[in-house]
Amino acid sequence: MRVETRGTTVAFGSFGLKALETGRLKSEQLESARKVVSRFIGKTGKIWIRVFPDKPVTKKGAETPMGGGKGSVDHFVTPIKAGRILFEMDGVPENTAREAMRRASHKLPVKTKFVMKI
């Protein structure tokens, strides 16, 4: 299993959501998790998203014959390695942050863990 070497500690906020396994995170999944956290904490606190989906994934159309070159860009992903901090949060109580991160983790395709700043 590949393990991340950068972005493994909570740097901006007090609480974080850490990936425990390797995978690819679609931009739609990241946005869905962000919306859940934002709605739950309301106008209090601040959220940092520590990853950005900048890798294009291409796909050819259905029933397209062989040849004709590469397909067009279908969506964007960010590769995730185990140990990477995905989200950070500050300005909210611990129990609120824990619940918000739990809800966000249900929207993500990788196992995650709630972490706090040391």
Q: Is the pLDDT of residue 68 over 90?
A: no
Against a cut of 0.85, is the pTM above it? yes
Q: Is the pLDDT of residue 25 over 80?
A: yes
Q: Using 50, 70 and 90 to split pLDDT, how confident is the model at 15? A: very high
Domain enclosing residue 109, as ranges: 15-55+73-116
CATH (domain of 28): 3.90.1170.10
Q: Using 50, 70 and 90 to split pLDDT, how confident is the model at 2? A: confident
Residue 94 lies in a domain: yes
Task: Please state the domain count of the chain.
Answer: 1
- Token pair of 64 as six digits: 């397209």
**Euclidean distance between CA atoms 102 and 6, whole angstroms:** 23
Residue 41 lies in a domain: yes
Residue 36 lies in a domain: yes
Residue 26 lies in a domain: yes
Mean pLDDT of the chain: 93
Q: Is the pLDDT of residue 78 over 90?
A: yes
Residue 23 lies in a domain: yes
Residue 7 lies in a domain: no
Q: Is the pLDDT of residue 27 over 80?
A: yes
Residue 100 lies in a domain: yes
Specify burial of residue 99 (Cβ count, 10 A radius: 0-12, 13-18, 19+). middle
Residue 111 lies in a domain: yes
